[in-house]
Chain A
């Protein structure tokens, strides 16, 4: 079959990314938007756009009936869920299938199985993929989980079976604090996922987060597209990702790729997915453990695209239409180095609180090896209710050092003003000697937080620039919601300058 029209069940930069892939594949795209996003850039990136509800995500981007109805009403034959929102929701995949829509992702039962971390661990163990030593307890009472923690040994990691993104997860350092932390994890898991089932893992000391991109088709083909290292994370939210990982030797890389393909095969996987591993130790003796599978396109997929030269979203469209994988394992190679920095509207100095408000000045950098995936324009107001991601900057070069230097130069030339962002923080991470040496683990940000937050007073040049800047520069957009609208009325044409 061929896809004619794809509904993109998402917003922001990823919706724009998918619309571009559709256009290259001569497939029409349909954007969806909430009332808060009627003027958002992703709406204009697609061929058609349809409102799916009020600003609250639960009533728009997370509403299965609204999204399916939008696809039906616009005559779409397929749905791309992007990441986040409904992308790992088995009920949504099922609702799409029931409505005769191709879900661009894995089969619903695969999403369901991998969504249960306990079931996924059992499946991986059966497939011979190493898992973090741990205990699952049938007795889900506090006492039952405490017994499981005792069996694993302290410190123990209590995790939500339905979890992800660090929600519903607590490190329990000792028996004395176990009950309180188990209750907190359960409360958070119930609130976030509607499922408070917990299990316990051994704490891996100083682990690195290394994940393998996999891709399967409907004809039994499964390949991997090498690794991404995502050890620079805060509260389990990734901040900087890169490929290759500085920690992998050729032998370990090969073993992880093979394990990831085995894992995807065991899961009956189709389309793009990611097997996340924790890496313990370094060199040829490093050990890796299955952490979880993400059954969707990842935020950080541009890193893989940069080093392998493939277009993952285009391949998603092909495979969803029933075509075999456009590559063989032997045809995929890793070349050079790529680093992605996630630029967030947040205030690192104030607990990384998300920031909302207008991007009074926003200029994206350009240059060889620089890719920007953004969902904003100058004058756009970052809304309060959605993910605070402004843009992803991916720098690719022939070596890790060159890629770091390229990312640094690009960030220094990426002025974003009007709301606080993490750009200065990202630059301090990139400049840190441990990062430059590739000697990081997932505790890097916490361990170096004071240093990474250190700010200097404004230098003379900044003060002089401030003194010389008048209040109303001609290019300063108004703060009205329509400031993001680039159109002028043709009625104004020919009247001369106002």
Chain B
């Protein structure tokens, strides 16, 4: 019943971590006695396996699978997947990535560009239509905003990660 201790700081008996998942923030306290509390909740027993399996609760634990990628924790729980960002205490959260630029998910060609600099867009608006693997793929606005730059035109071949549209 040992919570994994390798959380970053050397001497902590308890650690506070901030969790962010889909807009919500939670404070969690990880204790050396093998319990974790989230928010104002009661401590729950957490056992971390070496192979990514995590058992939460005692008795009748729920089985989760986790993997870390930088500050991201991927969690698989009963067929649902959660991507939870973790900031341990003593470390400032990095500036939020500029989610203002939209890029292609794969090498693709640009079929149509609907976005124009200076226009207001609403979440879900189609900004660009790409074609890849003989399928048309719409690139949609992830949030309400204003288009500040357009970096592509019909016929362009674009690579993943290269900005197509900037939105503020």
B67 within 8 A of partner (CB): yes
Asked if residues B134 and A463 are in contact (CB atoms below 8 Å), the reply is no
Beyond A461-B57, A466-B73, A468-B30, whether A473 also contacts B52 by CB under 8 A is yes
11 A-B pairs with C-beta separation under 8 A = A167-B134, A167-B135, A354-B105, A356-B106, A415-B65, A424-B79, A458-B75, A462-B82, A469-B54, A469-B67, A471-B70
Asked if residues B105 and A465 are in contact (CB atoms below 8 Å), the reply is no
Asked if residues A423 and B135 are in contact (CB atoms below 8 Å), the reply is no
| Smallest Cβ-Cβ distance to B160: which chain A residue | A384
Q: A415-B52, A463-B84, A467-B38 are in contact. List 15 more A-B contacts (CB 8 A).
A: A188-B134, A191-B131, A361-B76, A414-B79, A417-B67, A418-B67, A460-B56, A463-B26, A465-B54, A465-B64, A468-B3, A469-B68, A470-B6, A472-B6, A475-B52
Per the bound structure, the CA–CA distance linking A461 and B36 in Å amounts to: 10
B149 within 8 A of partner (CB): no
Stretch at the interface among B40-48, B92-100, B113-121, B150-158: B40-48
Asked if residues B134 and A472 are in contact (CB atoms below 8 Å), the reply is no
In-complex Cβ contact of B36 among A350, A421, A464 (8 A)? A464
In-complex Cβ contact of A467 among B30, B71, B82 (8 A)? B30
Beyond A385-B106, A461-B56, whether A473 also contacts B67 by CB under 8 A is yes
In-complex Cβ contact of A465 among B26, B46, B107 (8 A)? B46
B24 within 8 A of partner (CB): yes
B21 within 8 A of partner (CB): yes
Top 9 nearest A-B pairs (CB, nearest first) are A415-B65, A415-B76, A467-B28, A417-B74, A466-B73, A466-B84, A412-B79, A465-B64, A465-B54
A427 within 8 A of partner (CB): yes
Per the bound structure, the CA–CA distance linking A360 and B72 in Å amounts to: 12
B147 within 8 A of partner (CB): no
B33 within 8 A of partner (CB): no
In-complex Cβ contact of A471 among B26, B44, B50, B68 (8 A)? B68
Asked if residues A465 and B56 are in contact (CB atoms below 8 Å), the reply is yes
Asked if residues A356 and B4 are in contact (CB atoms below 8 Å), the reply is no
| Smallest Cβ-Cβ distance to A430: which chain B residue | B79
Asked if residues A351 and B138 are in contact (CB atoms below 8 Å), the reply is yes
Asked if residues A361 and B74 are in contact (CB atoms below 8 Å), the reply is yes
Beyond A192-B134, A360-B67, A361-B52, whether A461 also contacts B77 by CB under 8 A is yes
Asked if residues B19 and A459 are in contact (CB atoms below 8 Å), the reply is no
In-complex Cβ contact of B54 among A412, A456, A468 (8 A)? A468
In-complex Cβ contact of B77 among A350, A420, A462, A469 (8 A)? A462
Q: Which residues of A contact B62 (CB under 8 A)?
A: 461
In this complex, the interface size class of chain A, counting residues with CB under 8 Å from chain B, is 35 or more
Tell me the A residues contacting B by CB distance below 8 Å.
Answer: 167, 188, 191-192, 235, 350-351, 353-356, 360-361, 363, 384-385, 387, 408, 411-412, 414-418, 420-421, 423-424, 427, 455-476
Q: How far is the CB of B130 from chain A (nearest CB, A)?
A: 10
Q: How far is the CB of B139 from chain A (nearest CB, A)?
A: 9
Per the bound structure, the CA–CA distance linking A420 and B136 in Å amounts to: 20
Q: Which residues of B contact A167 (CB under 8 A)?
A: 134-135
Beyond A354-B105, A462-B75, A465-B75, whether A361 also contacts B67 by CB under 8 A is yes
Asked if residues A424 and B81 are in contact (CB atoms below 8 Å), the reply is yes
Asked if residues B77 and A459 are in contact (CB atoms below 8 Å), the reply is yes
For A384, A415, A423, which residue has the most chain B Cβ atoms within 10 angstroms? A415
